[in-house]
């Protein structure tokens, strides 16, 4: 990143025809984008959206309000343009790509990018979700697809997901990152740790309280079984993670390498961002948090990432939808610094106190 | 408004390919827009933006960080396309109109709509800001301009303002609405009322604390002198208001009449909305609050209006800029209900618990 470009952008903002600082967060975004891209007048359009789809063996434990077949059905919906992310992608003029990294059934459809690493993860209540080799392959698929879109000219990236059961995997991963040694090190999980784990498990797509409790129990048992090491991201990913989460993290790694700003979506995406940051801490520099999801673990994940979201609209859909809805704010920040007149060029008298 | 269309929209939302309620506030917006327009699939594009410009005699008391000449200079900036509102208007594809309802100097410029009621208000520390006839004329100018844009096909309305000194007028108006009898009725303003008045006065474009205190004193003295009746909106407007605030309220009256949704901007615009609602309570039905301004009185005004803003980004620029930045969220709500596939049309299995 380029701190100097950021400082130059901050100085330039104060010459524009507005009271200093009066565009609030939009000004901070403009400075961050300048720092990321090295451009005082950064650009984020056109954005690219990659939706990674994969299934979760743990779905067979009844941790989702929807049956597993919905993953593949929604992939077809994406390809037909009928899902929320399609609608929002059209609104913001995004290039949208759908990648199968691990849907449980064979899928071939026009427009689908197939990078299937395996047919869904294993049920991590019984065995590790995947091998470390598979985890790496899914991360690499994400890197490859992001680089392909970057070559096609996208100036910012949104990553979304579809995978029935993936809030369960995300909660398990987040708990492993959050509790670290307390999960890996101790012979038995104590009440405090169990409480922390349970605190990052929520209703996902809409479970009732009784089934949230069951989901909590599944996650606690899985973590007690595998004892993932929160400091080893691939250990966490392979034991209790998901293939689409791996792909999302890979895409963020590629974006960071190419200095492409990433607008982070909700809970699952933020856990993928944590994974990416664990793999490479400098990824954090290119991340902007798009929105705060209603899923309770999301605020915990945002705090670990030290990011404040732009929107707080009670959304909890995934697919990248919250980030896509937040995108116009980031675009507004770019247009502001790119297009506004200065006090001098417009012949406007600057303020004193401001 | 059409409650039945709203209910129908709410039912239809639950058939779309997403967990029920998972788009949070966007779903509530879609229902509100359906209720306003009577359309289950409402439209808000293209939006129209009207920026009303006028000067304030009270500016001579040193209540702004900028000199009065900036009002006219910024009008020229609007006409040249260099201000924040121009940039955001282009982003959202808005029809933008600039109306002079009372700039203190003669202004003629290509593209400017001249509806000058008088050359700035009088200094309300000494005399009423304007006559009731002038107040009505400015409201009518707003009605006329909004109807002209509605005839040109806008599907939603944003009203903005430019007027050095207008947070002073807005704070005075808000205090009058807030304190009501306590200002009008009592022979002397007691400490509690003075505290309430002071609580809705802030730094505006960027005053330092000492000058905020001066601004507070000016407003308290003006209210003690004129004792406007908070239940008589034209009394408040003519004694301590502004011509652009009148124009904005008029435009909202017209929008309400024609069932055009209005996205409310920051502090001054929200005070204009309160004025419009006092003139005609049903205006409230068509209002959506775009954002929460940093100006401290804004939250008070929003509470009186009983509206929760979409954005909270620490903005405080005015011109309609916060509403324009919020507009894509409203557009997203329309596109969501207008374009998403249903579970049935997409062949996706609906959830159980959701």
| pLDDT tens, position by position, B41-83 | 999 999 999 999 999 999 999 999 999 999 999 999 999 999 9
With a cut of 50, say whether residue A353 has pLDDT above it.
Answer: no
Strands B95-102 and B47-54: parallel
State how far the alpha carbon of B91 is from the alpha carbons of A5, A326, A329, B96, B315, in Å: 24, 14, 10, 12, 18
Please tell me which of the candidates B17, B66, B353 has its beta carbon nearest to residue A208: B353
Q: What is the DSSP string of A270-306?
A: HHHHHHHHHH-GGGGGGEEE-B--SSTHHHHHHHHHT
Q: Alpha-carbon distance A64 to A208, whole Å?
A: 10
Q: Alpha-carbon distance B10 to B30, whole Å?
A: 8
Element (H, E) at A47: strand A47-54
Question: Looking at residue B349, what DSSP letter applies?
Answer: P
Does A314 sit within 8 Å of B91, measured CB to CB?
A: no
- What's residue B354's pLDDT? 42
Gap from B334 CA to chain A (nearest CA, Å): 10
Give which of A70, A78, A82, A86 to mutate to test B binding, by max B Cβ within 10 Å: A82
8 Å CB contact between A201 and A219: yes
Of chain B, the percentage scoring pLDDT greater than 70 comes to: 99
- Window 212-271 of B: residues touching A by CB (8 A cutoff) are none
Chain center to CA of A299:
13
Whether residue B59 lies within 8 A of chain A, CB to CB, comes out as no
Supply A14's token pair: 């104060």
- What's residue A24's pLDDT? 98
Residue A227's CB is within 10 A of a number of other CB atoms, namely 16
Give bridge partners of residue A113 from the DSSP assignment.
A99
Gap from A127 CA to chain B (nearest CA, Å): 27
- What's residue B352's pLDDT? 60
Sequence-distant (6+) residues with CB within 8 A of B82 are: A17, A339, A340, A341, A345, A346
Average pLDDT of the segment spanning A309-321: 98
The interaxial angle of helices A267-279 and A233-240, nearest 10 deg, is 140
Whether residue B109 lies within 8 A of chain A, CB to CB, comes out as no
Q: Where are the alpha helices (DSSP H) in A206-280?
A: 209-226, 233-240, 243-257, 267-279
Average pLDDT of the segment spanning B225-234: 96
Residue A282's CB is within 10 A of a number of other CB atoms, namely 11
Supply A133's token pair: 């080799």
Supply A132's token pair: 């470390």
ipTM: 0.96
Sequence-distant (6+) residues with CB within 8 A of B258 are: B147, B150
Instruction: For residue A20, list chain B residues with Cβ-Cβ distance below 8 A.
Output: 206
- What's residue A352's pLDDT? 60
Domains of chain A: 3-43+335-346 (1.10.1610.10), 47-329 (3.40.50.10210)
Tell me the three state secondary structure of residue A231: coil
Catalytic residues of A: 319
Whether residue A20 lies within 8 A of chain B, CB to CB, comes out as yes
Sequence-distant (6+) residues with CB within 8 A of A326 are: A263, A290, A291, A309, A310, A311
With a cut of 70, say whether residue B353 has pLDDT above it.
Answer: no
Does A328 sit within 8 Å of B90, measured CB to CB?
A: no
Q: Alpha-carbon distance A302 to B308, whole Å?
A: 24
- Window 323-352 of B: residues touching A by CB (8 A cutoff) are 325, 328-329, 331-332, 335-336, 339-341, 345-349, 351-352
Task: Tell me whether residue B161 is one of the annotated catalytic residues.
Answer: no
- Window 110-149 of B: residues touching A by CB (8 A cutoff) are none
Average pLDDT of the segment spanning B303-325: 98
pLDDT band at B188; cut points 50, 70, 90: confident
Identify the CA nearest to A264 among candidates A302, A237, A231, A209: A302
Gap from B230 CA to chain A (nearest CA, Å): 30
8 Å CB contact between B336 and B44: no
Identify the CA nearest to B118 among candidates B242, B275, B252, B273: B242
State how far the alpha carbon of A234 is from the alpha carbons of A56, A133, A270, in Å: 17, 9, 16
- pLDDT tens for B100-131 read 999 999 999 999 999 999 999 999 999 999 99
Does B77 sit within 8 Å of A341, measured CB to CB?
A: yes
Give bridge partners of residue B99 from the DSSP assignment.
B52, B113
- Window 172-211 of A: residues touching B by CB (8 A cutoff) are 205-208, 211
Task: Choose, from B69, B319, B331, B339, the residue flagged as catalytic.
Answer: B319
Does A206 sit within 8 Å of B19, measured CB to CB?
A: yes
Average pLDDT of the segment spanning B120-143: 98
Q: Given phi > 0 = left and psi -120 to 50 = alpha, else beta, which region is B72?
A: alpha
Supply A273's token pair: 């961002």
The interaxial angle of helices A243-257 and A132-151, nearest 10 deg, is 50
Residue A191's CB is within 10 A of a number of other CB atoms, namely 7
- pLDDT tens for A74-126 read 999 999 999 999 999 999 999 999 999 999 999 999 999 999 999 999 999 99
- pLDDT tens for A24-37 read 999 999 999 999 99
- What's residue B169's pLDDT? 98
Q: Alpha-carbon distance A282 to A253, whole Å?
A: 9
Gap from A86 CA to chain B (nearest CA, Å): 8
Average pLDDT of the segment spanning B297-310: 98
Does B347 sit within 8 Å of A208, measured CB to CB?
A: no
Of chain A, the percentage scoring pLDDT greater than 70 comes to: 99
Supply B70's token pair: 């900036």
Give which of A15, A21, A23, A76 to mutate to test B binding, by max B Cβ within 10 Å: A23
Chain center to CA of A349:
44
Question: Looking at residue A59, what DSSP letter applies?
Answer: G
Q: What is the DSSP string of B96-122?
A: EEEEEEE-SS----TTEEE--SSSS--
State how far the alpha carbon of B148 is from the alpha carbons of B201, B250, B279, in Å: 34, 13, 21
Q: Alpha-carbon distance B80 to B98, whole Å?
A: 11
Of chain A, the percentage scoring pLDDT greater than 90 comes to: 95
- pLDDT tens for B152-174 read 999 999 999 999 999 999 999 99
End-to-end Cα spacing for chain B: 30
Give which of B28, B267, B313 to mutate to test A binding, by max A Cβ within 10 Å: B313
- What's residue A187's pLDDT? 72
Instruction: For residue A26, list chain B residues with Cβ-Cβ distance below 8 A.
Output: 313, 315, 325
Average pLDDT of the segment spanning A186-194: 86
Q: Which residue carries 């006028």 as its tokens?
A: B54
Gap from B104 CA to chain A (nearest CA, Å): 16
Supply B329's token pair: 């969220």
8 Å CB contact between A97 and A320: no
């Amino acid at each position: 990143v380029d701190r100097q470009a950021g400082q130059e952008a901050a100085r330039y903002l104060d010459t524009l025809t507005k009271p200093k600082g009066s565009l609030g967060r939009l000004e901070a975004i403009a400075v961050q984008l300048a720092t990321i891209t090295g451009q005082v007048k950064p650009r984020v359009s056109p954005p690219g959206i990659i939706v990674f789809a994969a299934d979760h063996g743990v779905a067979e434990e009844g941790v989702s309000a929807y049956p597993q077949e919905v993953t593949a059905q929604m992939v077809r919906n994406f390809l037909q343009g009928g899902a929320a992310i399609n609608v929002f992608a059209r609104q913001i003029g995004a290039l949208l790509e759908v990648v199968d990294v691990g849907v449980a059934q064979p899928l071939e459809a026009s427009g689908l990018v197939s990078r299937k690493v395996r047919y869904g993860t294993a049920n991590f209540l019984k065995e590790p979700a995947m091998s470390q080799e598979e985890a790496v392959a899914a991360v690499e698929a994400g890197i490859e697809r992001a680089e392909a879109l970057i070559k096609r000219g996208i100036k910012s990236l949104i990553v979304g997901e579809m995978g029935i059961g993936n809030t369960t995997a995300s909660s398990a991963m987040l708990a492993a990152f959050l509790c670290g040694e307390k999960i890996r090190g101790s012979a038995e999980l104590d009440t405090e740790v169990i409480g922390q784990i349970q605190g990052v498990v929520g209703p996902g797509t809409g479970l009732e309280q009784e089934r949230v409790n069951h989901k909590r129990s599944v996650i606690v048992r899985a973590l007690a079984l595998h004892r993932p090491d929160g400091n080893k991201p691939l250990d966490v990913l392979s034991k209790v993670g998901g293939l689409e989460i791996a792909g999302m993290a890979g895409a963020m790694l590629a974006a960071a390498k190419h200095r492409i700003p990433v607008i982070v979506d909700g809970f699952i995406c933020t856990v993928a961002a944590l994974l990416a940051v664990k793999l490479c801490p400098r990824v954090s520099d290119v991340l902007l948090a798009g929105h705060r999801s209603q899923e309770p673990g999301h605020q915990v994940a945002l705090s670990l990432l030290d990011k404040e979201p732009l929107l707080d609209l009670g959304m909890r859909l995934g697919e990248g939808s919250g980030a896509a809805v937040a995108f116009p704010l980031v675009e507004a920040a770019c247009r502001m610094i790119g297009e506004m007149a200065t006090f001098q060029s417009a012949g406007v008298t600057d303020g004193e106190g401001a």
